[in-house]
Amino acid sequence: MLFIAVDDMNNDLGCYGHTQVKSPCIDKLASQGVNFTRAYCQFPLCSPSRSSIMTGLRPDTTRVFDLKYHFRAGMPDVVTLSQCFLQQGYYAARVGKIYHYGNPGEIGTSGLDDAASWKEVFNPAGVDKTALEPDIINNTPKRGLGSSMSLLADKTGRDEDHTDGKVATQAIELLEKHKAGPFFLAVGFYRPHCPFVAPAKYFDIYPQEQIKLPEIAPAFRDSAPEPALSSTKPWPHFGCTEQQAREAKRAYYAAISFVDAQIGRLLDALERLGLRENTIVVFWSDHGYHLGEHGLWMKQSCFEESARVPFIISVPGMAAGKKSLRTVELLDLYPTLADLAGLKAPEGLEGASLRPLLADPSAEWNRPAYTQVQRAVFPGHSVRTARWRYTEWDGGARGAELYDHHADPQELKNLAANPAQSTTVAEMKALLKKVHPVPVEGGKSVEGAKKAGPGEGS
């Protein structure tokens, strides 16, 4: 089991139809498996999302709503995904970021890791952390690097000198060492999370004059509830100029291409070692990422760009080079991988095995996807079906949104108050209440841990 995670990557990839971003290695993986085109995270912030993935439980169950609280504080005996494999005979190891790390602050440490999940852990730190941070251009100087519009094209460093290059090198060494036995190798890359630092050759792929920002529709801003646009302050672009925002978008794309090349090194090693035909490969991002849509940047919104994620599963002998249009959740990873490996999973997992869709990507599937965020003392809850996205803020008291993805895939026309859509609103509200009947203690974790600002170090 090769379990590949990236940090803050949206769906701007070739295999998702993006014509500008160069992602040949991820695209190659998509050609070898099932590419889920409607996959969603449960909370577009690092620790809540990753805790949900690794426990197979929703944030309301793990109680992780911020970057401080650890799920074991309230669930000391929960068996995580990799722990399930570890307990049933697999070598389980982590290289890089799987649980929450302050990025870049905690690179080189174990961050908010979970020791019970692994037999071995490795925390590489490259020149992006150890040498280059003083040179990074931060166009939002009041924000720390972990939640900033900051970038650097490294003109001297090799791929292997950067943290993600070291992550790939260490992971390849572990593949070589443990190729004979069953393994669950979790490989967590740190890019394209800000600061957007990569070797300069990846910046050269994207001429600055070709980088455009999406238009911000004035009519939309008037119809959107205030909490929907409050993840970026000051709005828009954290107060950056349009030119600075375009430079950040270029650097984000460079970081995607850089980490794509490191993933390619892993996939090449699998083939070289003769492991490709008996290894399940999973690729996922912890959440999506805004690049100016609605004037927003980064995450912590309930819009499509924040909630939707790239998600690929490649299983030898099952569907390959196929896309699934079914609505799925990252929560589904745990039951899926346990099912594929024939392991006994804990009771109470809140996702569903995707095995039917891995056999037939167009198989019948009737499960919506749920995403939630936090605004100070109240939550936002969203439900996505194949056609609709419906969102309520503070149980609807602070506004609601309804978007028709058949007619409005960019979510620019809020139909929640349209009388012609009252039946759809009622249906979507009922779906939402199945999972979120009432806000959980205002969405706060049990300890009431101090919340980090939007995207801070996530």
Give the contacts of 160 (CB within 8 A, at least 6 positions apart).
166, 169
Burial class of residue 242 in the structure, from the number of CB atoms within 10 Å of its CB (0-12 exposed, 13-18 middle, 19+ buried):
exposed
Residue 70 is encoded by which pair of tokens? 């650890």
d(CA 283, CA 7): 11
Give the contacts of 33 (CB within 8 A, at least 6 positions apart).
281, 312, 313, 314, 315, 318, 319, 320, 321, 322, 358
> Is the alpha carbon torsion for 405, 411, 416, 419 positive or negative?
negative
| Residue 98, amino acid | I
Q: Does residue 46 carry a catalytic annotation?
A: yes
Across the beta sheet with 150-154, what order do the strands follow?
137-138, 150-154, 196-199
Q: Does residue 194 carry a catalytic annotation?
A: no
197 forms bridges with which residues in the sheet?
152
Q: How far is CA 80 from the centre of its chain?
A: 18
Which of 100, 237, 294, 436 is catalytic? The answer is 100
Contact (CB, 8 A) for 282 and 185 = no
Which of 46, 84, 194, 302 is catalytic? The answer is 46
Q: Among 76, 107, 82, which Cα is nearest to 7's?
A: 107
> What are the catalytic residues?
46, 100
